[in-house]
Amino acid sequence: MSSTTTLGLPPVTGAWREGDPVGSRKFLSIGDVQLESGDTIPDVTIAYESWGTYTGDNAVLVLHALTGDTHVTGPAGPGHPSPGWWDTLIGPGEAIDTERHFVVSANILGGCQGTTGPASNAPDGRPWGSRFPAITVRDQVSAEAAFSDALGVDVWHAVIGGSAGGMRGLEWAIMHPHRVERLFLLATCAAASAQQVALTATQNDIVRADPFFAGGDYYDADRGPTQGLDLARRVAHISYRSEAELQERFGRTLQDDELVAAGGRFAVESYLQHHGTKLAGRFDANSYLLLGAAMNSHDVGRGRGGVAAALSQITARTTVAGIDSDRLYPLHEQQELADQIPDAGDLAVVTSLHGHDGFLVEHEQVGRLAAALLA
């Protein structure tokens, strides 16, 4: 494949490599992690950041979404090209107040921001690559529970997560009910829907179709599957935003003066290309595949007698919130959670033009809900 194509793919060469070390990021070794499949990932390391002081009963665990990372709050800097993804929600005097709470954000098992994943070295000293075992959301929570043990946190005052982070939050509250006092679930679901599975599987196939994917063993190559990851992210990003927002922001506006038929681009094309290129420069394709497949495994009712039986086991005081314009995780999925979690109360609806990404964008509305739960 040439470096320039009619799809507007970026002339990116080189396999993915992690960025500069992050000064605020810390690491904990949690030993071996036994997976649901029976496989074991040996000598797992979890990367994390923390804010505030732990007093024994004030720890808050913030769980990032699919391509998120540990940098939930704080300025841009080495290894972090942007401020924290919830920077106005977490901090001194903010809704999640780091003067009152000890806030922890850990990178997910299988990720690529310091936690053991496909780009990490296996016991033989070579990157895991295609040899990294398949994992589930429950496996990720098992690793986070071991991380909590190593950190010295027995009980979380609150566990907070949106989207894929909300999936892990649900499993935390079911697998370890005695360790979760409060639970905040945003734009998530009890089980991955057919639509969510279809979109994720298609994105994964796009990555695998990149001629430089090399079966997942591309780390020593001059090129990696950056173009496949770019395209997969564009597909994902369309589902993250609402039709109304795309129409309002872009409509049929041209990015260039040329007519589309003459090689010009619509502004919405340029927008998607930007987001695809941005992810391809900071994320590992193997992690994207692995974490997407883990999300597709999500079903709290699996092996527990169904969704209702599983949700009935949650003892945490719970707030469930959904985004009114979310077409990827529609409101009826959060309504199911609010209806069947014993101490959930009414569903909170966040008004947003931004679709699924509203849980990352609507800081004021989300902050009020978080503050009320933590009060």
Domain ranges within the chain, ordered by starting residue: 26-191+299-374, 196-295
Q: Which among 64, 71, 298, 356 is annotated as catalytic?
A: 356
364 burial (CB, 10 Å; 0-12 / 13-18 / 19+) is exposed
* Structure tokens that stand for 102 in this block: 């000890």
Handedness of CA 14, 16, 18, 19 (dihedral sign): positive
Domain at 196-295: CATH code: 1.10.1740.110
> Which DSSP string do the residues of 194-219 spell out, in sequence order?
HHHHHHHHHHHHHHHHSTT-GGG--T
Residues in the chain: 375
Helix (H, G, I), strand (E, B) or coil at 17: coil
Nearest Cα neighbor of 188 from 368, 88, 310, 63 is 63
Tokens of 313: 């086991």
**If you compute the radius of gyration of the chain from its CA atoms, what whole number of angstroms results?**
20
- Strand-pair partners of 223: 14
* Helices 137-151 & 164-175 angle (0-180, nearest 10): 70
Residue 163 annotated in active site? yes
User: Do residues 54 and 148 touch, judged by C-beta distance below 8 A?
Assistant: no
Please list the ranges in the chain whose pLDDT falls under 70.
1-23, 260-263
Q: Which of 139, 210, 326, 357 is catalytic?
A: 326
State both tokens at 160.
Answer: 């907070």
User: Residue 162 belongs to what H/E stretch?
Assistant: strand 158-162
Q: Which of 208, 275, 265, 264 is nearest to 235 (CA)?
A: 275
What pLDDT is attached to residue 105? 97
The one-letter amino acid code at 90 reads I
Query: What does the pLDDT look like over 199-232, one tens digit per residue?
Result: 999 999 999 999 999 999 999 999 999 999 999 9
> CA-to-CA distance for 124 and 104, rounded, in angstroms?
32
Q: Which residues of 245-282 are buried (b: 16+ CB within 10 A; e: fewer)?
A: bbeeebeeeebeeeeeeeeeebbbbebbbebbbbbbeb
Task: Write a three-state SS string for 92-156.
Answer: CCCCEECCCCEEEEECCCCCCCCCCCCCCECCCCCECHHHCCCCCHHHHHHHHHHHHHHHCCCCE
Q: For the domain made up of 26-191+299-374, give the CATH fold.
A: Rossmann fold (3.40.50)
DSSP string, 276-294: HHHHHTTS-HHHHHHHHHH
| Common-topology check for domains 26-191+299-374 and 196-295 | no
Give the residue from 294, 307, 303 showing the smallest Cα distance to 35: 294
* Active-site choice (50, 105, 142, 163): 163
Among the listed residues 64, 263, 88, 67, the one whose alpha carbon sits nearest the alpha carbon of residue 169: 64
Helices (H), the chain: 137-151, 164-175, 194-209, 226-240, 243-249, 267-280, 285-296, 307-311, 331-340, 358-361, 363-374
Count of alpha carbons within 13 Å of 253, Cβ hemisphere only?
11
Annotated active-site residue 324? The verdict is no
- 365 CB-near residues (< 8 Å, 6+ apart): 350, 351, 352
224 burial type by CB count under 10 A (0-12 exposed, 13-18 middle, 19+ buried): buried
Q: 310: how many CB neighbours lie within 10 A of its CB? A: 23
Using DSSP bridges, classify how beta strands 158-162 and 182-186 pair: parallel, antiparallel or unpaired.
parallel
